[in-house]
Amino acid sequence: MNIYKFGGASVRDAESIKNLFQILNTQKTNLIIVVSAMGKMTDALESLCHHYFNKTGETAQALQNIKEYHFNIIRNLFTGDDREVCEKIERLFADLEAVLETEPSLCYDYEYDRIISFGELLSTTIVAAYLEKQGRKAKLVDIRKCIKTDVNYRNANVNPELSGQLCRKVFTFQDTFMYVTQGFIAGTTTNQTTTLGREGSDYTAALLANLLDAESVTIWKDVPGIMSADPKQYDDTEIIPKLSYREAIELSNFGAKVIHPKTIKPIQNKKIPLYVKSFLHPDAPGSVIRELDEKLKLPPIYIDKDHQLLLTLTPRDFSFIAEEKLSAIFSILAKYRLKLNLMQNSAISFSFCIDCADAVFDDFIRELKDEYEVLYNKDVRLITIRHYNDAIIRRLTEDKTILVEQKSRLTARFVVTNN
């Protein structure tokens, strides 16, 4: 059994879904298809949730846009007599409207997961209906009944034992060769909806592979494979045909967008290979992440993260930045759900780089200012180069001002501003 994951870009319009069907139609093995919300619908639902929770008066319009997007795809995929799919989608929208008509609770993250999950529920319903129409019947599974998590809404932690038992009961392949299910969303034991963190569908695919001992996972993307840099940012990138699990974890943790950082551990634990392939060129080999014995010689691979916030904290009483202070700073970061992308300390200062989170910025800085002198640069870039050499460092930094520099044996990192 193999797992295929299709992200938002691979189901963004009717043509893409037809293309997805073409890819599946050539497959002969048992498959589980994990699907994300269509196109940028998770962003649209995030904005809907914002309007609902903050009562901006724009909820109805935001909902209307989401409805139109989906019904437009349906109109282009199905002929007029397909009442069945329309009814299913109308029912989902009625459920969503029922949520929006209630008074929001005090917990934003809970409301967020209830609303955001409709992206995946809608996309999988449409994809499964289309496959059926094309004669490739696939069973639609509500993953919230199988992957069980705690109540840490928006970044829920999976209970692997319970999820394993439930998944093995559901994905039996006794009366079907193919299942379609949602990425990113999950449920608690009391059937509340949770999510696994933005872009978490890759993680769902990896989890299912682990729990069900799949032979492989394939992530279908709009890039030819794992590239030496993001082809949307740089034009001289090359494809990396194979990577070890370790290298892949390092790269995704440094911010490479190709796979979600949580994806690797579940497949690495069971030594399941993960393929990254282009849905536009399905016959091209793409890249594979797997157990590799040989020491691979890799070209420089670089990750350029923009919108970074660089902070330097100095205790007001000039006390040392020692364990206690660091632990207090880390708790503040955890409280605001900020991910540390780089850090460096001296005797009495601590500098670090995080994603610039406008929503919490003021509160976060205010809290730090209680104890520290705070200096910061907004909108800087963090460039990470794995397997670096002098030429590539020069090329990527020469027209920039370097604010922080770190080098280890394999990795060079620079916090820069554009000149």
From residue 348 to residue 367, the character string flagging contacts with ligand ASP as x (rule: CB under 6 A) and all else as - is: --------------------
Which of 164, 200, 225, 300 forms a contact with ligand ASP (CB under 6 A)? Answer: 200
User: Are the CB atoms for 131 and 24 separated by under 8 Å?
Assistant: yes
Shortest reach from residue 7's CB to ligand ASP, in Å: 5
Q: Decide if 183 contacts 204 (C-beta within 8 A).
A: yes
How many Å apart are CA 140 and CA 250, to the nearest integer? Answer: 34
Strands 139-141 and 178-182: parallel
Do residues 319 and 304 touch, judged by C-beta distance below 8 A? Answer: no
Q: How near is the Cβ of 42 to ligand ASP at its closest, in Å?
A: 3
Please say whether the beta carbons of 393 and 371 come within 8 A: no
Distance CA 306, CA 286 (A): 27
Instruction: Name the β-bridge partners of 217.
Output: 3, 274
DSSP secondary structure code for residue 198 in this structure: T
Q: Which does 198 bind (CB under 5 to 8 A by kind): Mg ion, ligand ASP, none?
A: ligand ASP
Q: Which of 16, 36, 117, 278 binds Mg ion (CB under 5 A)?
A: 36
From the CB of 45, what's the least distance to Mg ion, in Å? 11
Contact between 58 and 29 under an 8 Å Cβ cutoff? The reply is: no
Stretch that binds ligand ASP, among 34-42, 210-218, 220-228, 250-258 (CB under 6 A): 34-42
Are the beta carbons of 191 and 139 closer than 8 angstroms? no
Indicate whether 42 belongs to the interface with ligand ASP (CB under 6 A). Answer: yes
Angstrom distance (rounded) from CA 282 to CA 19? 10
Choose between 202 and 311: whose C-beta lies nearer to ligand ASP.
202
Among 198, 242, 265, 290, binds ligand ASP (CB under 6 A): 198
User: Which range binds ligand ASP by CB under 6 A, 161-169, 174-182, 197-205, 350-358?
Assistant: 197-205
Question: Binding partner of residue 237 among ligand ASP, Mg ion, none, CB under 5 to 8 Å per kind?
Answer: none
Handedness of CA 211, 216, 221, 226 (dihedral sign): positive
39 binds ligand ASP (CB under 6 A): no
The reply on whether position 252 binds ligand ASP by CB under 6 A is no
Least separation in angstroms between CB 221 and Mg ion: 11
**Cβ atoms within 10 Å, residue 231:** 15
Binding at 183: pick from Mg ion, ligand ASP, none (beta carbon under 5-8 Å per type): ligand ASP
Q: Could you give the CA distance from residue 349 to residue 373 in angstroms, rounded to a whole number?
A: 9
| DSSP per-residue letters across 339-378 | PEEEEEE-SS-EEEEEE--HHHHHHHHHHHHTTEEEEEEE
Q: Which does 184 bind (CB under 5 to 8 A by kind): ligand ASP, Mg ion, none?
A: ligand ASP
Site mask for Mg ion (CB under 5 A), range 99-138, x = bound: ----------------------------------------
- Judged by CB under 5 A, the residue of 6, 8, 185, 287 near Mg ion is 8
Choose which of 10, 188, 201, 237 interacts with ligand ASP (CB under 6 A): 201
- Told to check if 39 binds Mg ion by CB under 5 A, we report no
Mutual angle of helices 83-101 and 118-133, in 10-degree steps: 170
Q: Which residues pair with 372 in a beta bridge?
A: 315
How many residues of this chain bind Mg ion (CB under 5 A)? 2
Q: Which residue's CB comes closest to ligand ASP? A: 201
- The interface region with Mg ion, picked from 28-36, 122-130, 137-145, 339-347 by CB under 5 A, is 28-36
In whole angstroms, give the CA distance from residue 416 to residue 414.
Answer: 6
Contact 159, 175 (CB under 8 A): no
| Distance of closest approach, residue 44 Cβ to Mg ion, in angstroms | 11
Q: Which is nearer to ligand ASP, 198 or 242 (CB)?
A: 198
* Contact positions vs Mg ion (CB under 5 A): 8, 36
Residues contributing to the site for ligand ASP (CB under 6 A)? 7-8, 36-37, 42, 119, 183-184, 198-201
